Amino acid sequence: MSQTSPRPSRPWSAAFISASTPATGVEPAPYFRREFDVQEGLQRAVLHVTALGIVVPSINGTRVGDEVLEPGWTPYRDRLIVRSHDVTELLRAGENAFGAIVGEGWAVGRLGWEGERHFYADRPALFAELELVYADRTDVIATDSSFRVGSGAVGANGIYDGETFDARAHPSGWDSPGYDDAAWQQAQPLEWPLEALSAPVAPPIRRIEELSPVSVVARGGDRVIVDFGQNLSGWVRLTVTGEAGRTITVRHAELVTPAGDLETESNRTAEATDRYILAGTGEETWEPAFTFHGFRYVEIEGWPGEVDPDAVRAVVVHTDMRRTGWFETSNASINRLHQNTVWSMRDNFVGVPTDCPQRDERFGWTGDLNAFAPTGVFLYDVHRVLGSWLIDLSLEQERLGTVPQVVPNALRTGSSATALWGDVAVSLPWLLYQEYGDADLLRRAYPSMVAFMTEVEQALDEHGLWSSGFQYGDWLDPDAPADNPAGGKTDAHLVASAYLCKTSRELAQTAQVLGEQADAERYAALASRVRDAFRREYVTAAGRVTDESSTAYALAILFGILDDDQVAKAGERLSELVAKSGYTISTGFAGTPLIADALSDTGHLRDAYALLLQEKSPSFLYPVTMGATTIWERWDAVLPDGTINATGMTSLNHYALGAVADWLHRVVGGLERVEPGWQRIRVAPRPGGGLTWARAAHDTIRGRAEVAWRVVNGEMRVDVTVPAGATAEVHLPLHPDDLIVEVGEGTQSWTYPARDAEEALTMQTPIKDLMRHDEVWAAVLEELRRALPGIPIEAGLPHMADLPLTVVLDRMPGESEELRRGFERILGGASAEVAR
């Protein structure tokens, strides 16, 4: 069954239909049906279908389409997606039947941590038209009061809490002709604005992949814990034989306790529990259709006999996006970090780009997407799915007068313009234009972009600073109090004003692209004004930035706020701060996507690699050392003893902080877009961190772009593929002459002697550089503790981060010659390792 045209050219004939009474609580899903005649000579049949809730349509006992969780989640009163299917092959001359089950979904079920139900509608409802095309006419079967509505096997069916399916109650043949529906009720019309019905823009949600268990462990009684080896979004399919009435309960979670039991803390109030009640008719296979879960582990209870691993499968479910980006290196931990980022993106693109797939939230938080989008556009083709989401954003913005914190908006609390969150209205269209070269998308988004900036302009103080109103700041800074994730080190209004420097410039550039010259000049002037205001308030003449936080420096460096002669000083100070933190993460949502770039762009590449490779918490690789298979909401979401950090915000599947992958693609892999639509490419890998090879590949709108580099026995090989119609500026890494070449489409290779990527570690190496190498630094500290027992070594050394060990030795009390020999022994071995 192929998808066909999105809707008929004529006005709709159908009405929304429902059961006669509103849902008062958790209720069974309604089943709708109608029989109809098909005459001889049918040429074509098209079903247009949607619902308030989640719809599963069928014709003559066969499910229509392979989409799941349809029609997805949009602002339903303004935009409700109708999908269309060619169902000609499912029909036959004579009697036929159309059926549909409608679960409560996002429209009716509870949304958010406050447990509110009926956010959009007070009962599930169906809308469908079946067009029967003959040579001389078109007949239409449309939802109306001629439909019958009843109930069946699907009981509770909440997005958060799970689905209950009683196979004994399945009305066999209900969606085929000849079924006796006399006990069913007449469907009732439900008022709904038909102008909201819209053709799909994004690809549908589908079953994408299946995973087998990696272990099944008995936990006492008839309980087992099944580990699928990967945190994912979706559900479990069961194949089982047992007596009628037996209930199999499947509970989902991201983690198990150190004792091996299910850990449901990160689900919060989401029950995430599916129940299947056997019919007792032999082998039965079932999977839910009206819920989804975020999980790696499931606890199965009630299975008849021993659980056969082949009888249980995890079904991975998300928007059917095409993979477009790949990256790998010689370092297995970095590769796992990147794989975790890919999986978190997959798991959080279930229709809406969400924050997490497991708990009582799963909202389309604007800030999470804005932070992650540069990584997302590399990994997957998100042109349509994010183009669709931007339509929803503009609709919500128009209705509310501001960009809400989540899209679709499901929060009762008011919103106002916010940096990094609300300004996704500007930055995301601009990014999508850069990636896909789609000026039409930019044009469609332009009114929303302008409306956001108008709201912000009205909030500026007399100096041009965004100095008032709520801001998220550097959300989830690791140093923020557990009960105040917005309370990080960096002033929230500094963050806001810095992001405004970026977005005002992006809007000026957008206006220029669209030929809106007056607007281009206006927003360029605004960008200049807010930059001057930021510099006057937050930057010294020498280039120091108030707050003295890594995030503040990263924003000032990367958003073009500093003058050229100030950037070096800011980079040095940022390097010092990163060293002082022991190369652990000290940034949140605002700073983490930028910190590695701010270091490498200012000549501190080694610091960036040290930050990347740190394994102590909080760090990029600490979750990897703890067995993470997705990106965590907090770096310390799981503590070293394996227990969860019970702060109420410890999702183990949050893509935002995986935004460092953008730096991996561009700087480590060396593949960067420099003109819209990848017309011009910059190839500039920057080896470091002991890596001996890396590869980055991206399927652009012009074709495959790829870079691979490898160092073997002091010889560098670089392979570059440029897609058709593009040119590339290739900066050959570690080339003795720092060679830069221009190349056109096709594949080219270079081989040459490699310059040393890193200097050897010596007694003249500053302490901050030694701290990048965990094993070396641990050995230095151990030597100091041996020589100076009882002295708090760690307390004093960070204040001497810029000093070499020779100076430190001169300041030590008493005889230091033995200590010197110990250091030289450590550094001699380390130097050989660095050289390799």
* DSSP character string of 173-193: TTTSTT---TTSEEPEEE---
Residue type, 518: A
Catalytic residue list contains 89: no
Q: What is the helix (H) or strand (E) element at residue 63, kind and residue range? A: strand 62-63
Tokens of 122: 């007070």
Residue 778 · residue 612 · CB < 8 Å: no
Q: Which residues pair with 706 in a beta bridge?
A: 697, 721
Distances (CA, A) of 692 to 500, 659, 684, 713: 39, 23, 16, 10
Q: What is the helix (H) or strand (E) element at residue 557, kind and residue range? A: helix 550-558
> How many whole angstroms separate alpha carbon 398 and alpha carbon 394?
6
The three-state (H, E, C) secondary structure of 351-397, written as one string: CEECCCCCCCCCCCEHHHHHHHHHHHHHHECCHHHHHHHHHHHHHHH
Tokens of 752: 């040459």
Looking at 263, 287, 361, 516, which residue is catalytic?
361
Tokens of 442: 């930019």
Residue type, 434: Q
Quote the distance between the C-alpha of residue 568 and its chain's center: 33
> How many whole angstroms separate alpha carbon 14 and alpha carbon 19?
16
* DSSP character string of 467-480: -SS----STT-TTS
The three-state (H, E, C) secondary structure of 101-141, written as one string: EEECHHHHCCECCCCECCCCCCCCEEEEEEEEECCCCEEEE
Quote the distance between the C-alpha of residue 521 and its chain's center: 35
Tokens of 470: 């709520």
* DSSP character string of 196-208: GEE---SPPEEEE
The residues, any chain, with a CB within 8 Å of residue 312's CB and separated by 6 or more, are: 213, 216, 226, 236, 237, 238, 239, 298, 300
> How many whole angstroms separate alpha carbon 76 and alpha carbon 195?
11
Looking at 633, 672, 706, 758, which residue is catalytic?
633
> How many whole angstroms separate alpha carbon 317 and alpha carbon 298?
16
Please calculate the CA angle 132-137-141 and round it to the nearest 5 degrees: 35
348 closest CA partner among 337, 338, 339, 358: 358
> How many whole angstroms separate alpha carbon 357 and alpha carbon 372?
16
Q: Provide the annotated active-site residues.
A: 361, 633
